[in-house]
């Protein structure tokens, strides 16, 4: 067993010319406190909802991703940001897009000898607005029934040019709603944007019945959360 928690080299957030780098050992509290471009508001929103303040002080971004829970709150915002993970071992460094890295419930492509050293986010969405919505049975210390991250970029005329929407806790791994993302560009970025979302946009989700909610309830909740997250982005 190796304790990686003292590796200061892979902790903290830096903004570089083409990308923002979040060190794997960055805690959720550090994510919340670091000034970041607006497209990270969804990630900050997720950070505020991870467990409680005590958990946010200790829990790290890498732990959240490597744990690969379908209910990991950090995953949808990072998926929406097109994040990549950087894995380091004595054999070298490799990068994998987050979408491919998490392959199932508690399963990732991380090899046993690899440390998740960082998360790399391209800076092309820096000025886009973003939002995170989580539904749980109570406000804090709760596993998500469903959660959504949305990012909306607009042009000078107030139209959507780019939209990213990711849903967690409603399939074995969090998913981007690619059909919705294809349809939103061109829409007016004003109140009412959420009304463009219909059940068919969530067809790729495969929620399950469990102790927290039925599949039907999850699907319905996810639809509402997607609409609200998009409204947040244009409010
Ligand atoms: C009471 C409680 C409430 C919680 N609530 C939430 C919640 O609301 N939302 C949520 O998403 N999570 C929640 N969690 C889960 C967890 O705390 C967070 O996901 C946290 O971000 C995990 O980070 P960690 O550093 O504690 O990881 P650990 O729990 O220490 O590690 C998780 C896994 O990742 C591996 N790992 C960790 N770091 C690395 C690394 N750098 N490289 C390679 N492998 C690594 C570990 O070996 C382990 O297999 C909760 C946990 C508790 C105890």
Integer Cα distance of 30 and 102 in angstroms: 23
Q: Three-state SS for 9? A: helix
Q: In this model, does residue 213 exceed pLDDT 90?
A: yes
The mean of the pLDDT values for the chain is 97
The tens digit of pLDDT for each residue in 13-39 reads 999 999 999 999 999 999 999 999 999
Q: How many CB atoms lie within 10 A of CB 85?
A: 28
* Phi, psi angles (nearest 5°) of residue 6: -95, 0
**Model pTM?**
0.97
From 23, 43, 45, 51, the mutation candidate for ligand 1 (largest count of ligand atoms within 8 A of CB) is 51
- 76 within 8 A of 149, measured Cβ to Cβ: yes
**Any ligand 1 atom below 6 A from CB of 39:** no
Ligand 1 center–CA 191 separation, angstroms: 36
Tokens of 121: 């986010």
What angle is formed at CA 126 by the lines to CA 28 and CA 21, rounded to 5 degrees? 45
Is the confidence at residue 139, as pLDDT, over 90?
Answer: no
Can you list the alpha helix ranges (DSSP code H) found in the chain? 28-33, 41-49, 53-58, 61-67, 75-80, 98-101, 178-183, 215-234
CA of 150 to the centre of ligand 1 (A): 23
Say if ligand 1 is within 6 A of residue 72 CB: yes
């Amino acid at each position: 067993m190796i304790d990686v928690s003292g590796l200061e080299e892979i902790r903290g957030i830096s903004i570089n010319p083409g990308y923002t780098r979040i060190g794997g050992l960055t805690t959720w509290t550090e994510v919340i406190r670091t000034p970041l471009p607006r497209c990270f508001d969804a990630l900050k929103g997720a950070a505020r909802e991870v467990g409680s303040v005590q958990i946010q002080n200790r829990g790290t971004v890498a732990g959240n991703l490597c744990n690969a829970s379908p209910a990991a709150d950090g995953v949808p915002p990072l998926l929406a940001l097109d994040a990549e993970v950087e894995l380091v071992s004595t054999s070298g460094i490799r990068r994998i897009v987050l979408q491919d890295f998490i392959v199932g419930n508690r399963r990732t492509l991380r090899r046993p000898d690899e440390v998740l050293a960082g998360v790399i986010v391209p800076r092309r969405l820096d000025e886009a607005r973003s939002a995170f919505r989580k539904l749980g049975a109570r406000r804090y210390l709760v596993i998500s029934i469903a959660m959504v991250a949305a990012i909306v970029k607009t042009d000078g005329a107030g139209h959507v040019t780019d939209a990213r929407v990711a849903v967690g806790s409603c399939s074995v791994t969090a998913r981007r709603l690619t059909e919705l993302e294809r349809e939103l560009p061109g829409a007016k970025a004003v109140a009412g944007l959420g009304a463009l979302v219909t059940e068919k946009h969530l067809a790729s989700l495969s929620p399950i019945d469990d102790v927290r909610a039925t599949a039907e309830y999850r699907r319905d909740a996810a639809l509402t959360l997607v609409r609200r997250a998009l409204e947040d982005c244009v409010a």
